[in-house]
Structure 1
Amino acid sequence: MKISRGEKAFGVFNTILLSLLAFSTLYPFVYMTALALNEGLDSLKGGIYFWPREFTWINIKTVVTNPLVQDAFFVSVSRTIIGTFATVFITGICAYALSFRRLPYRKLLMIYFLIPMLFSGGLIPYYIQLRDLGLIDHFLVYIIPGVLNIWNLIVMRSFFENIPDSLIEAAEMDGANPFTIFWRIVIPISMPMIAAISLFTAVTHWNSWFDGAYFVNEMNLKPLQTYLQNILMNADAAQNLRQGSASVSASSNAAVAAASRTITPMALKMAVVILGTIPVLIIYPLLQRYFVKGVLIGGVKE
Structure 2
Amino acid sequence: MAISKEDKIFNCVNYTVLLIIALLCLYPFIYMLALSLNSGRDTLRGGITIYPRDFTLANYGAILRDKLILSAYKITILRTIIGTISNVFITALVAYGLSEQRLPGRKYIMIYMVIPMFFGGGLIPYYLVLREYRLLNTFWVYIIPGLFSIWNCIVMKTSFQGIPQSLKESMRIDGANELQIFFKVIFPLSLPMFAAISLFVAVGHWNDWFTGAYFVQKTELVPVQTYLQMIMTRDMRAFLEKDLAVKMSQELMGKDLTDYSKITSFSLRIAAVLVGTLPILFVYPFLQKYFVKGVLIGSIKG
Q: Would you say same fold, with TM above 0.5?
A: yes
Aligned 1:47-126 pairs, distance under 5 A: 47-126=47-126
Report the secondary structure of 1:87's partner residue.
helix
CA shift digits 1:191-247 (9 cap, x unpaired): 11100110000001111111111111222212111121222233x1x3333223212
Indicate if the aligned counterparts of 1:246 and 1:261 stay in contact, CA closer than 8 A: no
Deviation at 1:109, TM superposition (A): 0.5
Indicate if the aligned counterparts of 1:58 and 1:259 stay in contact, CA closer than 8 A: yes
Indicate if the aligned counterparts of 1:249 and 1:256 stay in contact, CA closer than 8 A: no
Q: Match of 1:58, as an amino acid?
A: A
User: Which of 3, 17, 32 is the matching residue for 2:5?
Assistant: 3
CA shift digits 1:46-86 (9 cap, x unpaired): 22121111111222222223111111111111111110011
Question: Following the alignment from structure 2 to structure 1, what is the Cα–Cα distance between the partners of residues 184 and 12?
Answer: 49
Q: Match of 2:246, as an amino acid?
A: V
Q: Match of 1:233, as an amino acid?
A: T
Question: Following the alignment from structure 1 to structure 2, what is the Cα–Cα distance between the partners of residues 240 and 79?
Answer: 30
Aligned to 1:299: none
Aligned 1:204-283 pairs, distance under 5 A: 204-234=204-234, 236=235, 238-250=236-248, 251-252=251-252, 254-283=254-283
Indicate if the aligned counterparts of 2:193 and 2:293 stay in contact, CA closer than 8 A: no
Matched, 1:42 2:45: no
Go from structure 1 to structure 2 and tell me whether the alpha carbon gap of 1:153 and 1:213 turns closer, same or farther (over 3 Å shift): same
Report the secondary structure of 1:38's partner residue.
coil
Which blocks of at least 5 consecutive residues in structure 2 are unaligned?
A: 298-302
Go from structure 1 to structure 2 and tell me whether the alpha carbon gap of 1:88 and 1:71 turns closer, same or farther (over 3 Å shift): same
Report the secondary structure of 2:262's partner residue.
coil
Q: Match of 1:134, as an amino acid?
A: R
Go from structure 1 to structure 2 and tell me whether the alpha carbon gap of 1:96 and 1:242 turns closer, same or farther (over 3 Å shift): same
CA shift digits 1:248-292 (9 cap, x unpaired): 322225232222342222222111111111112110001123347
Over the aligned positions, Cα root-mean-square deviation in angstroms equals 2.2
Alignment TM-score, normalising by the size of structure 1: 0.89
Indicate if the aligned counterparts of 1:242 and 1:268 stay in contact, CA closer than 8 A: no
Question: Following the alignment from structure 2 to structure 1, what is the Cα–Cα distance between the partners of residues 197 and 266?
Answer: 35
Q: Match of 1:242, as an amino acid?
A: L
Number of matched pairs: 292
Q: Match of 2:32, as an amino acid?
A: M
Go from structure 1 to structure 2 and tell me whether the alpha carbon gap of 1:232 and 1:20 turns closer, same or farther (over 3 Å shift): farther
Report the secondary structure of 2:121's partner residue.
coil
Q: Match of 1:211, as an amino acid?
A: T
Deviation at 1:24, TM superposition (A): 2.5
Question: Following the alignment from structure 2 to structure 1, what is the Cα–Cα distance between the partners of residues 184 and 190?
Answer: 11
Aligned to 1:158: 158
Report the secondary structure of 2:100's partner residue.
coil
Q: Match of 1:241, as an amino acid?
A: F
Moved more, 188-197 or 244-253: 244-253
Question: Following the alignment from structure 1 to structure 2, what is the Cα–Cα distance between the partners of residues 186 and 84?
Answer: 19
Deviation at 1:166, TM superposition (A): 1.1
Question: Following the alignment from structure 1 to structure 2, what is the Cα–Cα distance between the partners of residues 24 and 242?
Answer: 33
Deviation at 1:95, TM superposition (A): 0.6
Indicate if the aligned counterparts of 1:213 and 1:226 stay in contact, CA closer than 8 A: yes
Identity of aligned residues (%): 47
Alignment TM-score, normalising by the size of structure 2: 0.89
